[in-house]
Amino acid sequence: MPNNFQYGGQGVLEGVMMRGRRHYAVAVRRGPGDVVLQSRETASYTERHPLLKRPFIRGIIALGESFLLGLRALEFSANQLMEAEGEGEITTREMVVTIILALGMTVLLFIALPLFIRQIISGYLPGIFWRNLSEGVVRVLILMGYILAVSVVKDIQRVFAYHGAEHQVIHTYEAGEELTVENARKKSPLHPRCGTSFLLFVVLISALVFSFLGEQTMLMRFLSRLLLLPVIAGISYEIIKLAGKNQSIFLWQWLSWPGLLLQRLTTRPPDDEQLQVAIMALQEVLNQEEKKETQPLPSQTGLRSTAGKMKSEVDSGV
């Protein structure tokens, strides 16, 4: 790995978002030979407040920041595709409604529904430990079922292919190789630090933690699941971080295996154009961070052309 910082990103609509130490970039393919590239400077709250860098706390902050940045990247990619089709951009109100619906669906699927099913089957299980554990098993099954259900949607399959491209390009960078399509094509579309693995760890660790809770009312169960979620997210973050750094050790390979297996559902083999988009996003992040080290003032550029028409925005600020 060229340096100790762990670069990452995500697939978006017809594109890839890559995040670095102080910058992120989103590359979106609007059509043949037409890629729009946006990069912005960003700063984690952990950089501003050293206390937030402490283990377990930093995982909670990272989860929130990744969620907001991911929404921002998805909004940008959706707006680019809508603009290419001659439609208007997504409004702030529409984004707020989307976020509320997404959070509501998450609570319904992964907290309320497992608790409801637990209540139905609890009479057939001996003891509170097994009843709580069954809730965790139901949550795992819901996660897998949800991924399988959305994976049949054509647009989601495209996002999953860009997700695979993101992983292959990150693998190429971490191997110290030149960022080319040829090098990236040889890499695995699975990565131990993937958000899919993180979600699986959250579900598995929650099953373990909740299994040791005592008898509670339905309301107390619901509230305890909500309140303990940040703690579980912090634990999961530390496991994912260690697993990503220690893949040469058998224990961490073994712990990464379930997440890598689940990634076979959330990634697809990308084509060369999708790999090129992912390379553009990561290269833009690397360029901006190198520029930041040598030139303290942020720069701004307009349109430029490389390998076809490519529009680029470079802004400073979060």
Place of tokens 């959330």: 266
pTM over 0.85: no
Task: Check residue 298 and give its pLDDT.
Answer: 41
The predicted-structure confidence for 246-268, as pLDDT tens digits, reads as follows 777 777 788 888 888 889 999 99
CB < 8 Å & 24+ apart, contacts of 133-140: 133/207, 133/210, 133/211, 135/207, 135/210, 136/203, 136/204, 136/206, 136/207, 136/208, 136/210, 136/211, 137/207, 138/113, 138/114, 139/110, 139/114, 139/203, 139/206, 139/207, 140/200, 140/203, 140/204, 140/207
pLDDT along the chain (318 residues), means of 10: 74 93 91 87 72 76 82 90 81 84 89 91 85 88 91 91 96 94 95 87 86 83 88 86 77 83 92 95 91 54 38 39
Q: Provide the strand spans (E) within the chain.
A: 8-12, 15-19, 23-31, 34-41, 303-305, 309-315
Q: Given this model, what pLDDT does residue 294 score?
A: 62
Sketch the domain layout of the chain as residue ranges. Answer: 8-315
Please, what is the angle between helix 92-107 and helix 57-84, to 10°?
130
Structure confidence at residue 4 (pLDDT): 66
Q: Could you give the C-alpha distances from 82 to 14, 62, 207, 249, in angstroms and in order?
A: 12, 30, 41, 46
The string of DSSP letters for 256-281 reads HHHHHHHHHHH-----HHHHHHHHHH
Cα-Cα end-to-end distance for the chain: 27
Residue 179 confidence (pLDDT): 95
Question: Distance of CA 186 to CAs 157, 169, 202, 245, Å?
Answer: 21, 10, 30, 21
Q: Cα–Cα distance between 58 and 52 in angstroms, integer?
A: 5
